[in-house]
Structures are given as C-alpha cells and as structure tokens.
Structure 1
Amino acid sequence: MDVKQFQGMTLQEIEDRIRVLGHEELFVIGKDGSVLAAYRGNSNSVAFYSSDLMRRGATVTHGHPKGAEGYGATFSLQDVQNMAASNWAEHRAAASGKNELNYIIRRNPSNTEAKSKALYEKIGKDSASIQAEIKSEARKAGGNLSAASRRQIYTGVLDRYYSETLPKYGFDYITRNKGYNYNR
C-alpha cells in the first residue's frame, strides 16, 4: 500500500482505522512516528517483507478482523515468532468488536538476542500443545459454539500462555481497552 496516504496519522488513528476493517492491514512505524511501510492482507493474515523484521526500534501494528476465526483477537503464534525474530520495539494487534482490546508485546530492557531466539523456539515447540488446549477448551464449552465464543476460547488460552511465557524471555505482554489514552 502507498504509505503517503497515512503520513501524519498517529498510532491511535491508524489503529482506529484498522480495527473496523474486514481484512488485516499491517503498519511499520518508525521511532519518529512516521509510517515506513503498509501492507494489506486478507481476513486471516497479512504478509510483509522480511526486511521489515530488521527495522530496529519500530512499532508494528496490525488489525485482527472481527470475523476472523484462527486465534481470536490476540496474537497468533506466528505473530509472536515474528516479534521474537525482529528488531522491533513493539508489536501490536488491534482487535475489532465490542469491548475489544489492543494487544501489545514490548521488548523490555532484559531482552537479549539469545532470549529472543529461545522464545522463537519455545513457541514452535509449544504450538501442538497450545492447539490441543484450545480444542480441549472448545469441547468443554460444548458443541455448536458461535464464532464469538470460539474466538473467546482461543483468546483466553493464548492470553494465559503469553502472560506466563513472554516475561520469562524479556518481553512484556500487555492488554489494553481500545479506549485507553495513547500518550503518543
């Protein structure tokens, strides 16, 4: 996407925009707040150039559309691996829907390259057990679940996992109501 149309927009304005779309969009924002790159995806994912992983200190935000099933509102396992493999300061997911949150992963000062690599490997190793837990929680909730209920299950399992796991590897995992004050 042409980034010129987004120059001058704040992070909050970008996230307000992507929160209501039926497809994913991803923005790479520089330390100075300028939009460095923008990508449009489909309803389940968005691809970007691998060179954007190396943008030191960037904030990357993307939207998770309301109708998306996958991992619900929070980060997918691949999103977390992207953060671990990157030089980004912060990775964000702006979820759509009533009372949805902004999900944020930030590097904290204790993060090292070794911890990032270890997190990347941990996510890969734990992927099958996380998938199994999601399926188990869905079975416990009963059959014929609505898409919203499935999304809540996915999000709940992943929120617990990320809250417990990410700090051990030098990352902060933060959830904020979409109405919070950005102070940016």
Structure 2
Amino acid sequence: MHAEEKGQITVEAVLILGFFLMIFIGVTVPMTFNARYTSLDTTVLADAKYATEQIASAANTVVVDGSRRTIDVYIPGYRGGSVRMATRICTDGNYLNTTVGIMHPRSGYNTTVIEAYNFSARLYGGGWSLTAPSGKNYILEDQGRRYTLVIEYKSINSTTSNSKEPAGLTCNTKIETIMSTI
C-alpha cells in the first residue's frame, strides 16, 4: 500500500508539471510573435528618423552653389506575411518630410490597420528639391535598403532606383493610398 501512494504522487506531479508547461507555452508563444512585430515597428521607425536626420544634416552642410556631398543612407521598409512597412521621403522646400506607413492585420478581426508616423527635419535656406532616378519627387522604400544620395546646393538626388515605385503617386499622396498600391 505504501508503494502505491508513492507512485500516485509521481503521476500527480507529472500531470501538474505538464499542465503548467501547457499554460506556459500557450501564453508565451503568441506573446513572442506579437512582441516580434512590435519591436520591428520600433526598429523601422527609429531607422526612418535616423535616415531623415542624416539626410538633413548632410544637406545642411552644402551651403554654397557648386558644393557637393554624397552619402549612403539606409531607408527602412519591410514586407513579411501580412505586415508591410513603407517609408516615403520628400521635401516641401523647407523641410525634409518622412512618412512611415505600417499596415498589419487587426488581431481578432478581419480588418487591416494602417498607421502613419511622420518625421520632419529643417533644411536651411529653403527652396530644396528631392529627385529619384525615376523623376519622381520622393523616395519610396518598402523592403529596406541602402540609397546613395548626391546632395548639391538646394538639390537632393537619389542615384538608387526603386523598381517598385507605383505610378501616379506624388509627395502629397496619402500614405493609406500608397500602402494599398505597394
């Protein structure tokens, strides 16, 4: 009788341990995937803000006609599963404006959420223009890569082309429209 009780305690301990292990796995695995996308959002936003500051800082060192500066800048973006993140950089002449669009499914619903985040950096002197190789007045990146920018007085020119730029968009196009076309 005494040996049977000892075995009973072991079976109960294994069942209790298994129960806690199932709860632990059932809670932490979904949280891990959610945390991955949240940290990815933060990374893309930080990279976009840094790119904006880096371009504006380089542009603000080109202060006389005839001077020139070339920089390499990482412009973030992401495409994976149902999550897409795109960065658009353009200028209104006085500010370098960056918009990051993040499109992801809404948990528990059959809808998609588009979030937009904006950053600006002052360009000294006014009258600045930005040109992509396609002739567009903005840079749009949705996969994340390095761009070579040639900065001349009052002009920022990208020498890196993005083959995925949709037609018919401008610097003033809403990010929601852009996210639905890329």
Normalising by structure 1, report the TM-score: 0.25
Please identify which structure carries the higher strand content.
Answer: 2
Rg comparison, structure with higher value: 2
Normalising by structure 2, report the TM-score: 0.26
